[in-house]
Amino acid sequence: MADLNSIYCPKCRCHTNLIYRAGYERSITGGKYLYHAVEECNNCQQHFLTIRLNGQYGKKILKSYPESLPKTVNSLISDSVKKDFEEALLCQSVGAYRGAAVLARRAVQLICLDKGAKKGEKLHKQIEELFDNNIITQDIKDWADEVRYIGNDAAHPNKEEVNKEDSEDILELLESLCDVLYVAPARAAKRKQKRKGMAE
């Protein structure tokens, strides 16, 4: 969370402040207090139940329900990929690590299809195809394969359990993939267009 009162709202997907509506405080050791409250999103009026701890800089949010999103997904990413990425982040935020991993793997497959890989092929073949066609580098291929491995483990009951660290790692890799394949090219194109307009 960016500050003591702000969250990424899981309903409107905006970074927003919470507005206090009602609550009570409970004393704990060391002169500190826990605050249980009903608050709402400043943007969409989604209600939250929160637990806060008072401290040197105010009342820090310890827990909220529904959970805050860990981050937002860049709007420059393809809509289909963005949808699965957001759902993976929601899974991560509530401790559904296998769900996050499966959705991250699915997002990688959508990236492959969006970038021209053949439909109906297995994901490892689609990743290989993008590499062979010089659409992705070896590093990006490795990132995609790591997401695929963990996503495969999450989807099969006879594989190793996916934990919080695993899902955090592959969501970071997925974000890096999206940055390289969508965000950076879109920003570069925008800068190029701006420079072209200034030259005219």
pLDDT in tens, 18-44: 888 888 887 776 667 788 889 888 889
173-184 residues labelled b (16+ CB within 10 A) or e (exposed): bbbebbeebbbe
pLDDT of amino acid 138: 96
Structure tokens at 143: 């990132």
Residue closest to 16 by CA, chosen among 5, 25, 27, 28:
5
Amino acid 117: pLDDT? 96
Q: Identify whether 66 is preceded by a cis peptide bond (ω within 30 of 0).
A: yes
pLDDT exceeds 70 at position 2: no
In three-state secondary structure terms, 3 is: coil
pLDDT tens readout for residues 83-128? 999 999 888 888 899 999 999 999 999 999 999 999 999 999 999 9
Q: State whether CATH 1.20.1050.10 applies to domain 79-199.
A: no
Is the pTM higher than 0.75? The answer reads no
Please state, for a pLDDT cut of 90, what percent of the chain lies above it.
Answer: 46
Our CA dihedral for 30, 36, 42, 43, rounded to 10 degrees, sits at: 120
Mean pLDDT across the chain, nearest whole number? 86
Q: Where are the domains of the chain?
A: 6-65, 79-199
